[in-house]
Amino acid sequence: MPDLGSSSSHPYLANGLSRDLRCRSYDVVVVGGGVGGLTAAMGAAASWSVGLLTKAGFDETATFFAQGGIAAALAPYDSPELHLRDTLAAGAGLCDEEAVKVLVQEGPDRVYRLERLGTKFDKLDGQLILASEGAHSVPRIVHAGGDATGSVVEGALVEAMVAGRRVALHEDEFVVDLIMREGRVVGALSLSPDGGFTASFARAVVLATGGAGQLFANTTNPPAATGDGHAMAFRAGAWLRDMEFMQFHPTAFYCSENPALLVTEALRGAGAYLRDIHGERFMLGIHPQAELAPRDVVVRRMKEVMDRDQVDHVLLDARHLACVDLRDKFPTVTQGLRARGVDLCTQLVPVSPASHYFMGGVITDLWGRTSLPGLWACGEVASTGVHGANRLASNSLLEGLVFGERVVHDIERSFRVPGLLEPPEPILSLPATNAPGNSEGDVAAARERLALTMSRLCGIVRSEAALCEARRTVKEIRGALRPPRARVAELELVNLLTLAELMIESALRRQESRGVHLRSDYPERDGRWLKNIAVRRENAGKRSFRVLERGERPDD
Ligand SMILES: Cc1cc2nc3c(=O)[nH]c(=O)nc-3n(C[C@H](O)[C@H](O)[C@H](O)COP(=O)(O)OP(=O)(O)OC[C@H]3O[C@@H](n4cnc5c(N)ncnc54)[C@H](O)[C@@H]3O)c2cc1C
């Protein structure tokens, strides 16, 4: 029987939380309803009973927010080899080449399958329209509804899943922790809106909880992107990797909104320029692809220019492009900007970098298997190795489709092994609670302080001094909190603190600049750091870091 909360050094966040416990049993439990989770849930439901748990609505996923599209080698002038080359180049030496090969080779078939499922990609004369985006050497981005790809894809997946009527949906259930038994993941413990806990037991658990952009003050990510899956996998003892790598998107609309409106990279693909506040294009001469250089290159240059001019934004210029095309191809951005008082056709758009995609994740093999028996991961929470130190634009929806499907094949294989995966007995007890908890105001203030600290000290540019200050502040924030009550905001804050600590410690260890990780005190890329940093929680609660050689797995 899982032993939730029996001692203070226990890994569970649910430590000390108590309510009457409901229990359910499935063959497969999937946590997360974005592209990764929906792909895995639908695939698994063809053969087994599946429960899908999400903490928010389907329209609050990063998948739903996606604008630009899905990268895949579909054109006659393109090939998986070319897509592989571009992905490896953007990843700054840290991609796992085998994983990227899987992505680019299986990608085209997954896109066609998505189309057969009902996704209406944009076409001209019956042919897919392929857009350009940063660091792609040829146009290869399929899109839908102009710049509304994510909502169209999410909508098609949800519709197909609901029509199949085989997945038991549990929306608004906040998964607090993975349930462990003898070193194996056997389920997920969730908190319902009524404050009750449910234990969902399963022979296989798939983590598909998305990213963690909310760790920073300025983000394009939905409110749900608080890194819960990363944190719960860490608590359970899984190996995580690349926690220092947070990608900032160059062009979020400059404002204090959370999340900030993304101004899609495809606009630069269509010819929009970046200008400084004096009106000068500042990417010319910096990179052969100018505004379409890899994101890390654009963001670094933006930061230099903003620091030079002592401002915190630059300008995106689409005024020279045909207005009718802009409205037609970028309805989400055009309307979003109009609602904020900016006319994309005639005005310069103030933009600034915002946290966008977290490369750090739970280490998986090529089949989505994590280091913990019983646990698979796909989508942004997973570290499959395809993104290296800098994700290539529009490769993440593809990753969710490809690896979400692979997870299902691997679960199928593991279910064939007799005797190994008996469903656990649905018994679980939680100790009585007396957790004092924290007031709403305290939680909000701590969350704001954390985000501002991470943006200022562990954001686009880092240094040892800044990271040490961040470490001290995060410790202070954690130290001031009382053990959390069973409230989502409090539990999310604890997860964000865990991620902040892992990011800061990993960033301190990487003494070089590579991909999205820029150290002012180590400004050069250093071949000695052609390595990954992995971390897991040891039994006594200590963090254990390992520096991995290329291709090495932490358990090797
Ligand atoms: C504005 C924006 C634009 C983007 N544009 C593109 C693009 O054009 N192309 C591209 O390839 N990528 C794009 N990306 C990135 C891409 O959208 C994401 O990486 C991808 O959708 C992640 O999918 P996912 O399934 O891993 O997670 P998500 O789609 O984020 O879904 C996460 C799910 O996990 C659930 N969840 C999280 N924590 C818990 C918990 N504790 N308990 C229960 N459920 C939980 C959430 O409710 C949600 O259902 C964009 C991202 C953003 C933010």
Query: Could you tell me which residues come within 8 angstroms of residue 226 by beta carbon, excluding any fewer than 6 positions away?
Result: 212, 214, 215, 492, 495, 496
Q: Is the pLDDT of residue 355 over 50?
A: yes
State the pairing for strand pair 382-383/174-181.
unpaired
Q: Which atom of ligand 1 is nearest to the CA of 209?
A: 34
Percent of the chain clearing pLDDT 90 (strictly above): 86
Condensed to tens digits (0 to 9), the pLDDT of residues 204-263 reads 999 999 999 999 999 999 999 999 999 999 999 999 999 999 999 999 999 999 999 999
CA pair distance 139, 88, nearest whole angstrom: 17
Of residues 408, 381, 371, the one with CA closest to residue 110? 408
Q: For residue 422, what pLDDT is reported?
A: 54
Is-catalytic flag, 295? yes
Q: Are the beta carbons of 225 and 211 closer than 8 angstroms? A: yes
The average pLDDT across 299-309 equals 96
Binned at pLDDT 50, 70 and 90, residue 417 comes out as confident
Distance between CA atoms of 388 and 91, rounded to whole angstroms? 4
What's the gap in Å between 224 CA and the centre of ligand 1?
A: 9
The whole-number pLDDT of residue 20 equals: 67
Ligand 1 center to residue 61 CA distance, Å?
5
Distances (CA, A) of 369 to 212, 295, 411, 496: 21, 29, 9, 24
CA of 526 to the centre of ligand 1 (A): 32
Q: Please report which confidence band the pLDDT of residue 431 belongs to, taking 50, 70 and 90 as the band edges.
A: very low
CA distance 112 to 444: 44
Tokens of 101: 């090969």
The answer on pLDDT for 97 being more than 70 is yes
The answer to whether 404 and 37 have CB atoms below 8 angstroms apart is: yes
Helix (H/G/I), strand (E/B), else coil: 273: strand
Mean pLDDT for 452-480 is 98
pLDDT surpasses 60 at 10: no
Q: How much is the average pLDDT of 155-174?
A: 95
Per the structure block, which two tokens stand in for 225?
């992107």
What is the model's pLDDT at position 446? 98
Residues having CB within 6 Å of any atom of ligand 1: 31-37, 53-56, 61-63, 65-70, 149-150, 174-175, 208-211, 220-221, 224-225, 228-229, 262, 357, 379-381, 394-397, 400
Rounded Cα–Cα distance for residues 320 and 153 (Å): 31
Q: Which atom of ligand 1 is nearest to the CA of 56?
A: 47
Residue nearest to atom 4 of ligand 1 (CA): 66
CA of 53 from ligand 1 middle (Å) equals 14
Q: What domains sit in the chain, N to C, each tagged with a CATH number? A: 25-245+357-416 (3.50.50.60), 249-355 (3.90.700.10), 440-529 (1.20.58.100)
Counting from 1 in the atom list of ligand 1, the atom nearest the Cα of 380 is 26
Q: State mean pLDDT over 311-317.
A: 97
Instruction: Give the span between the Cα atoms of 294 and 296, in whole angstroms.
Output: 6
Structure confidence at residue 134 (pLDDT)? 87
As a whole number, the mean pLDDT across the chain is 93
Position 426 confidence tier, pLDDT thresholds 50, 70, 90? very low
| Ligand 1 atom closest to 394 (CA) | 11
Give pLDDT, residue 41. 98
Q: Residue 171 in contact with residue 224, Cβ under 8 Å?
A: no
Mean pLDDT of all residues in 446-470: 98
pLDDT at 284: 97
Mean pLDDT of 160-183: 93
| CA–CA gap between residue 302 and residue 296 (Å, rounded) | 10
Cβ-based neighbour number of residue 206 at 10 Å: 34
Tell me, what's the pLDDT at 540? 78
* Of 140, 241, 295, 369, catalytic: 295
pLDDT of residue 425: 53
* Among 149, 235, 380, residue to substitute to test ligand 1 (most atoms within 8 Å of Cβ): 380
CA–CA gap between residue 248 and residue 218 (Å, rounded): 9
Nearest Cα residue to 171 out of 356, 67, 41: 41
**Which residue, judged by its Cα, is nearest atom 14 of ligand 1?**
66
Task: Please state the rounded mean pLDDT for residues 297-303.
Answer: 95
**Band of pLDDT at residue 408, cut at 50, 70 and 90:** very high
What pLDDT shows up at residue 43? 97
Mutational test site, ligand 1, from 30, 59, 61, max ligand atoms within 8 Å of CB:
61
Region 422-449 average pLDDT: 73
29 CA distance to ligand 1 centroid (A)?
18
**Contact call for residues 175 and 53 (beta carbons, < 8 A):** yes
Kindly give the distance from the C-alpha atom of residue 380 to the centroid of ligand 1, in angstroms, as a whole number. 7
Predicted confidence (pLDDT) at residue 29 exceeds the cutoff of 60: yes
- How do 21-31 and 197-207 pair as beta strands? parallel
Give percent above pLDDT 70 in the chain.
Answer: 93
Is the pLDDT score of 435 beyond 80? no
pLDDT of residue 453: 98
